[in-house]
Amino acid sequence: MLLVSALVVLIGHSLAQECQKRDYGNDGHVCVCNSTYCDTVPPPSRVEPPSYLIYTSNKAGLRFAKSEGRFIESNEISDKTIQIHPNEKYQEIFGWGGAFTDSTGVNLNSLDEPAQDNLLRAYFSNDGIEYSLCRVPIGGTDFSERGYSYDDGDEDPKLENFQLAPEDFKLKIPFIKKAQNLTWGNLRFFASVWTAPKWMKTNREYNGMWGFLRYEMYQSWADYFVKFFDKYSEQGIQFWGLVTGNEPSLAMVPFTKINSVAWTPAMLSTWVRDNLGPTIRNSSYSKIKIMMLDDQRLFLPWYPKLVLNDETTHMYVDGIAVHWYYDFLLSPRLLTETHDSFPDKFLLATEACHGDKPFQKHVDLGL
């Protein structure tokens, strides 16, 4: 039997600027970026078969270091095997990215402008890691310095007092625009909301147990999304997707202080069917992808099954958004089961961060 095996030939270093390593005693290195220097990533390129490229990042300080190899015919049995099944296709990858939260903006604003630009280049440009799909919160989140919505006064079902917050103008929009520029517009956004205005909710608070949406506010809440897209559109920012609400489960866990709207599957199904779906599809944003859940694997596949049981709701929903926080307890098989139950709905990982557990309170640089 003739086998094809791989031979790695290190073709020297690419033209990228090197990582300026710094060791914080955490068993790895960070790369220091400042106002005049930042390491860069070589733009991806193609090579002709039988050559191939490998990009290596590791704790020792390699960051997307490029090397080239060549497949050769060989009879040797290797201990490493990669099997390729070209006819088995999975879901398209929509992109990679992060989130334009208030805390992102606070941290960027703590740097001088040339350092901000270097950092944004590292994330977005083709000298960097080319983020292509980013989350933008609608209003405040648990990564904000205060709780807020875009209509915080008295009860206002017609949303006459809807307006963006100072945070949008200081912490989000300027950086989103710079990122758009760095990607030449090849950056897609999806919007996710944490809480409704207090007056729309049954508990009249941003957070706390059982903070459902008041039934008589269902239409106002759908209109709120459209108002948000209008305001961002005025700033030159268009959205590819939306999520029905960040982590509805937060409002069912005692003692959480995170802003949220509680949705039982039945309530969510009704709201999407009667309010959000028709409102979005009849708006200037009719092509936007509507994602549901935005919560942990724990809810798969039973919660989407209950929501999408309604044929009309099923028609409006494009995808199912999933977070990563309890993945160490919950098998990825749940994703497969969800896919198999709804092969026409995509799955998208929409949030992951480190530091959510009580024992993870520090940023350990270089870990």
Ligand X SMILES: *[C@@H]1O[C@H](CO)[C@@H](O)[C@H](O)[C@H]1NC(C)=O
Please report whether residue 312 would count as binding ligand X according to CB under 6 A: no
Distance of alpha carbon 296 from alpha carbon 302, whole angstroms: 12
Distance of alpha carbon 209 from alpha carbon 349, whole angstroms: 26
Please report whether residue 218 would count as binding ligand X according to CB under 6 A: no
Specify the stretch interacting with ligand X by CB under 6 A; choose among 116-124, 144-152, 263-271, 273-281. Answer: 273-281
User: Minimum Å distance from CB 247 to ligand X?
Assistant: 27
Residue span 282-311 as binding mask against ligand X, x where in contact by CB under 6 A, dash where not = x-----------------------------
Identified binder of ligand X from the candidate list 11, 35, 58, 364, rule CB under 6 A: 35
> Catalytic: which of 130, 155, 247, 337?
247
Q: Give the DSSP letter string of 212-274.
A: BBPGGGHHHHHHHHHHHHHHHHHTT---SEEES-S-GGGGGSTT--S---B--HHHHHHHIII
User: Minimum Å distance from CB 125 to ligand X?
Assistant: 11
Question: Would residue 205 show up in a list of annotated catalytic residues for this protein?
Answer: no
Specify the stretch interacting with ligand X by CB under 6 A; choose among 70-78, 187-195, 278-286, 357-365. Answer: 278-286
Residue 44: alpha-carbon gap to chain centroid? 23
Distance of alpha carbon 164 from alpha carbon 298, whole angstroms: 34
Contact positions with ligand X (CB under 6 A) in 155-174: none
Question: Would residue 48 show up in a list of annotated catalytic residues for this protein?
Answer: no
Distance of alpha carbon 85 from alpha carbon 96, whole angstroms: 24
Specify the stretch interacting with ligand X by CB under 6 A; choose among 95-103, 104-112, 149-157, 275-283. Answer: 275-283
Residue 144 near residue 101, CB atoms below 8 Å: yes
Q: Which two tokens stand for residue 318?
A: 């494009």
User: Minimum Å distance from CB 68 to ligand X?
Assistant: 28
Please report whether residue 324 would count as binding ligand X according to CB under 6 A: no
User: Minimum Å distance from CB 112 to ligand X?
Assistant: 9
Q: What are the C-alpha distances in Å from 352 to residues 258, 276, 294, 319?
A: 16, 26, 11, 18
**CA angle, corner 241, sides to 216 and 206, nearest 5?**
40
**Catalytically annotated residues:** 247, 351
Contact positions toward ligand X, by CB under 6 A? 20, 32, 34-37, 181, 277-278, 281-282
